[in-house]
Amino acid sequence: MTVTEDAATLAPAKEVGQPRRRKEDARLITGRTTWTDNMVLNGMLHLAVVRSPVAHARITGVDVSAAQQAPNVVAVLTGRDLAAEQGSIPCAWPVTADMVNPGHPSIAVDQVNHVGEAVAIVVGRTKAAATDAVELVDIDYELLPPVLDMETAVQDGADLVHDELESNTSYHFVFDAGEAGTGVDTEQAFADAEVVVSRRLVQQRLIPAFMEPRSVVVQPQGDNFTMWSATQIPHVLRVMLAMVTGVPEHKLRIIAPDVGGGFGGKLQVNPEEVLALLVARRLGKPVKWTETRSESLMAAHHGRGQVQFIDIASDRQGNVKGLRVRLLADMGAYLRLITPGVPALGAFMFPGIYKFPAYRFECDGVFTNKVPTDAYRGAGRPEATFAIERIMDELAVELDMDPLELRRKNWIGAEEFPFTTVAGLEYDSGDYEQATQKALDLLGYDELRAEQKRRRESNDPVQLGIGFSTFTEMCGLAPSRVLGSLSYGAGGWESASIRMLPTGKVEVVTGSTPHGQGHETAWSQLVADQLGVPFEDVEVLHGDTAVSPRGMDTYGSRSLVVGGTAVVKAAEKVVAKARKVAAHLLEASEDDLEFADGKFSVRGTPGAAVGIQEIALAVFAAHNYPEDVEPSIDAEATFDPVNFSFPHGTHLCAMEVDTDTGMVKIRKYACVDDVGTVVNPLIVEGQIHGGLAQGIAQALYEEAVYDADGNLTTGSFVDYLVPSAADLPHFDTANTVHVAPGNPIGAKGVGEAGCIASTPAVVNAALDAVRHLGVSDILMPLTPERVWRAIHEGGDGGARAAAGTNAYGGAQTESTAGVSTPQSSLGGDR
Amino acid sequence: MTSINVRVDGASYSDDVEPRTLLVHYLREQLGKVGTVVGCDTSNCGACTVHLDGNAVKSCTVFAVQADGSEVTTIEGVGSADALHPVQKAFHEMHGLQCGFCTPGMIMASIDLLQENPSPSETEIREGIEGNLCRCTGYQNIVRAVQQAAGELSGSAGQA
């Protein structure tokens, strides 16, 4: 990609499509920005949270006297102190009518249900004073058996996370295509099938690991409260905090200043946000809480966490006949904002790009004594994509068929769009063959296949494999009526307004709150084209409920598709309002006006023209404007999409596996994504890169591991392996463009694509390298130990990896379920 | 409390600090140098990287008292919006940042890398900045930025 200097004389006719460098960068590269933790207010107090060191216990005694007497400690508050006012962390997505939600206290009162749960708050004059006194809070715990493994937790007679409930199952969600009328009977399809392949796959728990730790500052002013928070969702947070705490919504202002990444991890109503508000209200003083990284890994929500039982049916020629999915989805100890909805959202994506005649999905949401799960980049769709792309490879092996040929045989043809899938979704546009062909060329597929053959024949200790992922995803969350039909608690629209200032400058207010995506740049490009004003004349405002009063914020690859469209719709209204004023000023009929390049001109009357920026001044002065209109050309718009958008692409990974050491190395990674119209290719490529890094990290590096007592053993960046530059390869990326028909921009969404698509490509590649050695699965992450054991000892590499190491010793988690031994649960066989 | 004298971004400071105070906390909380940020508590992420007497250090791994008598340069001291350091400029031009939280540390580490190795290969860049974590970019554009800055710095050195 080349970056061009944008001198005014070279200014492109159209901004959309240009690799504009970002407006956001200036403050970020010079260290002059406004992270929440930078905020200092007079008299500000600091919060430190006392957290449970045990996974499951009754609280039998709390002694805060020593902490209260510590120097510079202002107050110590426990769950009992706040029980009457803390309410419950809201769950906005009751996926079934009978879903069981035990409630989620922000601070534990009688019982703790995961390590890291808040049990007391120390308020100090300095952060150090508060943190020092944490050690002085004395809490007695009566231990209860920890419930950690989902497959055990759903058995009859299992220990219960919440003993007031009948079981550890929160809900049983079913989508059956036969019953929905979108497919044939699934059981019959399997009964009639010539080939059935079944696998148990594991989606390990991951941690979003945004770089900026969570931080919140609350300032009380009379009966008003202003909260600064490192959040993705200031608007949602405001509504929810009002409902939870009883602070009236109009007395609450939320500001998300620059936010250092989110990836779904800051799509939450955090217990600490509730607690900071309650403490500020009680003490009448400004307060700040900023977490440590260890707290973040332990107490901020995790993602993924599924055991997947996948059955695929086909005939001997490889025509797929049915897909059956049964999930155990780890909720953790409580239901947070959309905890139960994440796997349910994925329900519709398991069929992928393939034409299944039959499909049945069942999911149990299971409580465990771990921190709750919730959204993490892709949220339900990476899990689904992993399952379908892995099982397609397994079916290809069973049929002794080329995995690409099997995919081709079953995917939706370019001429078949729009296509209604067996899950009932209407895929909008695309061409899977075109993207695949381009990706094969980019990878140098034929040469690598030839090298793979040579290495195999020579029995090279380093084997080569190639993995496919031909994926699609549902983006642009979301049509509000569809969300309603899925029992989600809110809509999926987005809001924007445009203010035309007297000097002709333009303020764009968006309800979609960015945290690194580059909204300020991309929205400026959209508005520059719509209004014909210079890119530099546009300022984008966001992230403050007093400035941007309506919004649904940023997640689900929705910002450009939904929020950008709202901006375009608002700009159209500005032009429509300006047209009336222009007609008046030019003494012409509206019908005779043309609007181009920011100017209204009269058709057939050269020289008769007025610019939209001049009109902004004219209505500010308001000396001369039409009788029947208001003296303003400002406008706002709310856009509610009719359908999701469906980006797709083909991701190819070539992987070297050292069979002597188990070390894997990505030799080459090539992907071609179709995200519809590209507004800014620089930003789109960056989003793909970042998504790839996270998807590859799931395959190779990351897992939230709990030991047999429910302690998070990957509780710092020493053990939770966020990859560095040296751990990741160069990516070869490209695009095809099939315009999204559902919005005027034609964009489909790009934020999650790389993360959704890449994981199965990487795992399929590793398996392709060693399948001839008898390996048919390796648990993620593909650590050298797991890969080596899978090659040399059989199985999926998890069995012995569970024993004898600190990280996996006795861990009764999904990735070791059924393989942990009594010895390993006692700490391994060291 | 211990007295220290430090020069930070060209200005002199005399302060009393607790011996346990980390340099990053001194910079942020006592000097208001909030351009340098804290991303972890185990010296893994590198977000707090500054230069201590010209060499990159993770300022969460250095006590403020260890900086006594030293010269500290933070992201706020390497360039300004009007006169960007070539590495800052390159991060902007090559889209080497998204959320920008790791960026100050990443830029400081990259400047240090280029001081030691003015024309690093891609592998040398990746290994040279592996002490700094970025969750947004997948690093590819950071590598490109360092490559561009290397070219610009060696070019300007040649002219000087």
In the numeric block, the tokens 């006169």 are attached to: B83
**Single residue among B32, B62, B78 that ends a domain in this structure:** B78
At B17, which CATH number?
3.10.20.30
What is the DSSP annotation of A740-769?
-TTSTT-B---TTHHHHHHHHHHHHHHHHH
Q: Is residue A769 in some structural domain?
A: no
Task: Report yes or no: A38 at the B interface, CB cutoff 8 Å.
Answer: yes
* CB atoms A28 and B100 under 8 Å: yes
* A127: chain B residues, CB-CB within 8 Å: 29
Residue B94, min C-alpha distance to chain A (Å):
7
Residues A133 and A229 in one domain: yes
Residues A503 and A586 in one domain: yes
At A591, which CATH number?
3.30.365.10
What are the DSSP E strand ranges found in A52-90? 57-63, 73-78
Residues A409 and A543 in one domain: no
Helix (H) or strand (E) holding A195: strand A195-206
**Single residue among A299, A332, A365 that ends a domain in this structure:** A299
Helices (H) and strands (E) in chain A, counts: 24, 28
Minimum-distance CB partner of A689 among B103, B130, B141: B141
Minimum-distance CB partner of B135 among A27, A28, A210: A210
* B44: chain A residues, CB-CB within 8 Å: 716-718
**Single residue among B78, B106, B123 that ends a domain in this structure:** B78
Residues A562 and A623 in one domain: yes
* CB atoms A21 and B97 under 8 Å: no
Separation between Cα atoms, residue A475 and residue A562, nearest integer Å: 10
Residues B94 and B59 in one domain: no
DSSP secondary-structure letter at B26? Answer: I
* A266: chain B residues, CB-CB within 8 Å: none
Whole domain around residue B140: which residue ranges? 86-159
Residues B101 and B41 in one domain: no
Residues B19 and B59 in one domain: yes
Residue B82, min C-alpha distance to chain A (Å):
10
Residues A284 and A382 in one domain: no
Q: Which of residues 292-331 of A touch B (CB under 8 A)?
A: 292-294
* CB atoms B130 and A726 under 8 Å: yes
Residues 6+ apart with CB under 8 A from B52: B23, B59, B62, B67, B70, B71, B72
Handedness of CA A624, A627, A628, A630 (dihedral sign): positive
Would you say the ipTM is above 0.95?
A: yes
- Could you tell me whether strands A303-314 and A287-290 are parallel, antiparallel, or unpaired per DSSP bridges? unpaired
| Neighbouring C-beta atoms of residue B14, cutoff 10 Å | 8
Minimum-distance CB partner of A716 among B41, B103, B141: B41
Residues A241 and A269 in one domain: yes
Residues B63 and B95 in one domain: no
Structure tokens at A330: 């780890």
Closest among B57, B72, B65, B74 to B22, alpha carbons compared: B65
Separation between Cα atoms, residue A167 and residue A384, nearest integer Å: 26
Q: Over the stretch B48-57, which tens digit does the pLDDT of each residue have?
A: 999 999 999 9
Separation between Cα atoms, residue A385 and residue A764, nearest integer Å: 12
Residue B154, min C-alpha distance to chain A (Å):
20
Minimum-distance CB partner of B133 among A25, A292, A724: A724
Q: Is residue A99 in some structural domain?
A: yes
Residues B101 and B150 in one domain: yes
* CB atoms A260 and B138 under 8 Å: no
Residues A221 and A351 in one domain: no
Q: Over the stretch A279-319, which tens digit does the pLDDT of each residue have?
A: 999 999 999 999 999 999 999 999 999 999 999 999 999 99
* CB atoms B95 and A29 under 8 Å: no
Q: Answer yes or no: are the C-beta atoms of A199 and A304 closer than 8 Å.
A: no
DSSP secondary-structure letter at A536? Answer: G
Residues of chain B with pLDDT under 70: 156-160
Minimum-distance CB partner of A686 among B18, B42, B95: B95
* CB atoms A717 and B40 under 8 Å: yes
Separation between Cα atoms, residue A532 and residue A526, nearest integer Å: 10
* CB atoms B76 and A32 under 8 Å: yes
Task: Report yes or no: A35 at the B interface, CB cutoff 8 Å.
Answer: yes
* A24: chain B residues, CB-CB within 8 Å: 100
3-class secondary structure for A230-277?
CCCCHHHHHHHHHHHHCCCHHHEEEECCCCCCCCCCCCCCCHHHHHHH
Give the chain A residue whose CA is nearest to the CA of B82: A26
Residues A564 and A419 in one domain: no
Residues A601 and A536 in one domain: yes
Residues of chain A with pLDDT under 50: 1-12, 800-830
Give the chain A residue whose CA is nearest to the CA of B83: A30
* CB atoms B98 and A728 under 8 Å: no
Residues A235 and A268 in one domain: yes
pLDDT of A13 reads: 75
- Could you tell me whether strands A494-500 and A506-510 are parallel, antiparallel, or unpaired per DSSP bridges? antiparallel
Residues A83 and A185 in one domain: no
Residues B132 and B150 in one domain: yes
Residue A23, min C-alpha distance to chain B (Å):
9
- Could you tell me whether strands A287-290 and A252-255 are parallel, antiparallel, or unpaired per DSSP bridges? unpaired
Residues A74 and A221 in one domain: yes
Q: Is residue A570 in some structural domain?
A: yes
The length of chain B is 160
* CB atoms B42 and A35 under 8 Å: no
| Total of domains in chain A | 3
* B91: chain A residues, CB-CB within 8 Å: 25, 29
Residues B66 and B118 in one domain: no
Interface test with A, best of B40, B48, B88 (most A CBs within 10 A): B40
The length of chain A is 830
* A682: chain B residues, CB-CB within 8 Å: 95
* CB atoms B92 and A682 under 8 Å: no
Q: Is residue A656 in some structural domain?
A: no
Would you call A455 helix, strand, or coil by DSSP?
helix
Minimum-distance CB partner of B93 among A3, A212, A687: A3
* B131: chain A residues, CB-CB within 8 Å: 724
Task: Report yes or no: A3 at the B interface, CB cutoff 8 Å.
Answer: yes
Handedness of CA A233, A236, A240, A245 (dihedral sign): positive
Minimum-distance CB partner of A260 among B101, B122, B141: B101
**Single residue among A622, A639, A656 that ends a domain in this structure:** A639
Q: Is residue A499 in some structural domain?
A: yes
Residues B8 and B71 in one domain: yes
| Neighbouring C-beta atoms of residue B41, cutoff 10 Å | 18
* CB atoms A30 and B136 under 8 Å: no
Residues B74 and B95 in one domain: no
Interface test with B, best of A3, A21, A30 (most B CBs within 10 A): A30
* CB atoms B41 and A293 under 8 Å: yes
Residues 6+ apart with CB under 8 A from A223: A251
* CB atoms A28 and B103 under 8 Å: yes
Q: Is residue A771 in some structural domain?
A: no
| Neighbouring C-beta atoms of residue A570, cutoff 10 Å | 26
* A724: chain B residues, CB-CB within 8 Å: 126, 129-133, 139
Interface test with A, best of B48, B58, B140 (most A CBs within 10 A): B140
| Total of domains in chain B | 2
Residues B150 and B104 in one domain: yes
Whole domain around residue A127: which residue ranges? 37-144+209-299
Separation between Cα atoms, residue A49 and residue A60, nearest integer Å: 19
Task: Report yes or no: A30 at the B interface, CB cutoff 8 Å.
Answer: yes
* B122: chain A residues, CB-CB within 8 Å: 730
At B112, which CATH number?
1.10.150.120
**Single residue among A583, A614, A639 that ends a domain in this structure:** A639
Q: Answer yes or no: are the C-beta atoms of A122 and A130 closer than 8 Å.
A: yes
* CB atoms A516 and B99 under 8 Å: yes
Structure tokens at A80: 């009992």
Task: Report yes or no: A701 at the B interface, CB cutoff 8 Å.
Answer: no
Interface test with B, best of A1, A20, A27, A211 (most B CBs within 10 A): A211
Q: Is residue A605 in some structural domain?
A: yes
Q: Which of residues 207-236 of A touch B (CB under 8 A)?
A: 209-213
What is the DSSP annotation of A675-722?
-BS-S-HHHHHHHHHHHHHHHHHHHHT----B-TTS-BS--STTTS--
Residues B90 and B46 in one domain: no
pLDDT of A796 reads: 84
Query: ∠ at Cα B86 (B80, B90), nearest 5°?
Result: 105
Task: Report yes or no: A725 at the B interface, CB cutoff 8 Å.
Answer: yes
Q: Side by side, which strands form the sheet with A215-221?
A: A73-78, A118-124, A45-51, A287-290, A215-221, A224-229, A252-255
pLDDT of A826 reads: 31
pLDDT of B155 reads: 84
Task: Report yes or no: A22 at the B interface, CB cutoff 8 Å.
Answer: yes
Residues B95 and B136 in one domain: yes
Q: Over the stretch A665-701, which tens digit does the pLDDT of each residue have?
A: 999 999 999 999 999 999 999 999 999 999 999 999 9
3-class secondary structure for A553-610?
CCCCCCHHHHHHHHHHHHHHHHHHHHHHHHHHHHCCCHHHEEEECCEEEECCCCCCEE
* B126: chain A residues, CB-CB within 8 Å: 724-726, 728
**Single residue among B78, B103, B138 that ends a domain in this structure:** B78
